[in-house]
Copies of this chain bind each other. A is one copy, B any other.
Amino acid sequence: MPPKPLPGFRDFYPEQLAERAYIFDTWRRVVRRYAFVEYDGPPLESLDLYTQKSGDEIVTQLYNFVDKGGRDVALRPEMTPTFARMVGARAQALRKPVRWFSLPQLFRYERTQKGRLREHFQLNVDIVGEADVLADAELLSVAIDIMRALQLTSHDVKARVSDRRLLNALLTHLGVVDSALPAVYAVLDKLERQPREISAEKLGEAGLTGAVQEAILGFATLDFQTLRATYGTSEIVAPHVARFAEYLSHGTALGIDEWIRFDLTIVRGLAYYTGIVFELFDAVGEFRAICGGGRYDNLLASLGGTDLPALGFGMGDVVLGELLRARGRMPAVGAAIDVWVAQSPESREYPAASLQAATALRAGGLAVEFALRSQRIEKQFEAAKKAGARNVIVVEPSDDGTVSYRARTASGEVALDNIEALTGWASTTTGIAT
């Protein structure tokens, strides 16, 4: 038997599954506060769903094959095409704005490295049908509130935010022609990682020299106040400055202003995003991006004819898990067992009396275990301890037909003389409440 999963794939033993469940539960809890509803699609889709959006070159990264019916199919590498297909099929009927989220597992055949496997789970949160910048602020607030709910602060994580339209206006104002934009974007994307001379050289090759080149090289440290002061009076730039200021003002009202860092070097997919874009990073810069997203107003139309403005983000579980562990914010796995029911095999009504007690406790919602074979009571206590049970209840039927229960809790011993008392005790004792 192959002893391991395929390279880049994870086994989730109960310890790992508990960590995954902590992340999933937090994701769901927070996005529901924002009135998003969950959807899901198939993990296997037609190959052309992906090539239509990303071109044939994406196929080199896919788990694609021909199924037994001769169809070209692929494991989903991202959720957006499925989302676009599903929204497109019911575009008329759906209440706008559509506020949907999903937690798909995604698959890419890539070289595995730190923070990047061949599968991961990714929270997808999308809003469809709203062009107003308030939707952009609301979306970022969801991502940041998830950080908060995971006990991360604005000292741990920063949201680096840019605006594709503001950037374009700025470049137009500086005299950059459209044909030079891809070169500028490529430079901006690497501005913090590659030597300034190389960036300058690449801008020069695109015909951008002198003051324009200097200005672009300065984008890495250009904060919004300085941008506003420097370019805010330009007729081309002004409306975009105003809109971004409104975005920031909404962010303040939503309580996320401390997390936001204006950063024109956040570029993201060129053919995809049309407005405000953002990425969440750990403040130290130790990990890959935790989350990325933005406005993609043209994508739905280009994929399926649903011409609706849209915005969304994806947040993966791998980098987030690494960050939580590194910052000591991944909670320890709690004991799964509230009560261990024990009974001496020599006692009357063994094991029926303890099975009845277990059934009553389980009906009350408690997690209950007991020995599945006849064992000395000492052995049962050992098993309870090894299992991490929070309490042990010893069931003791007596000759007169009554049954008594001794509950060994962390704080001592409680004696209860009937099963109703036991159930009542179990459901009110905070030590074992679920």
Contact = CB atoms under 8 A, between A and B. Distances in A.
A88 interface: yes
B1 A45 contact: no
A13 B42 contact: no
Interface string A1-42: 111111101111110011011000000010011111111111
A243 to B, nearest CB: 13
A312 to B, nearest CB: 14
Nearest to A33: B362
A97 interface: yes
B5 A41 contact: yes
A1 B100 contact: no
A387 interface: yes
B253 A351 contact: yes
What interface size band does chain A fall in?
A: 35 or more
A65 to B, nearest CB: 3
A67 interface: yes
- Stoichiometry, copies per complex: 2
Given A44-B107, A132-B372, A145-B362, A84 B355 contact: no
B90 A33 contact: no
Contacts of A132: 372-374
Contacts of A49: 1-2
B372 A135 contact: yes
Contacts of A40: 11-12, 17, 20
Contact of A11 (B6, B42, B84): B42
A298 interface: no
A405 B130 CA distance: 26
B63 A38 contact: no
A65 B68 contact: no
Given A356-B253, A362-B34, A9 B42 contact: yes
Chain A binding surface SS class: mixed
Contacts of A99: 369
Given A67-B109, A132-B373, A351-B253, A32 B367 contact: yes
Contacts of A36: 336
A358 B68 CA distance: 51
A386 interface: yes
A194 interface: no
Contacts of A135: 372-373
A46 interface: yes
A90 B5 CA distance: 14
Interface string A237-257: 000000000000110111100
A355 B250 contact: yes
A359 B68 contact: no
A88 B1 contact: yes
CB-based closest 8 A-B pairs: A65-B65, A253-B355, A9-B42, A35-B369, A253-B352, A1-B304, A132-B373, A12-B40
28 contacts: A1-B52, A1-B81, A2-B85, A3-B89, A4-B89, A6-B73, A9-B44, A10-B42, A11-B42, A12-B40, A13-B39, A18-B37, A33-B368, A34-B369, A35-B369, A36-B336, A37-B336, A67-B109, A127-B372, A130-B373, A132-B373, A134-B373, A135-B372, A141-B359, A249-B352, A250-B352, A253-B353, A253-B356
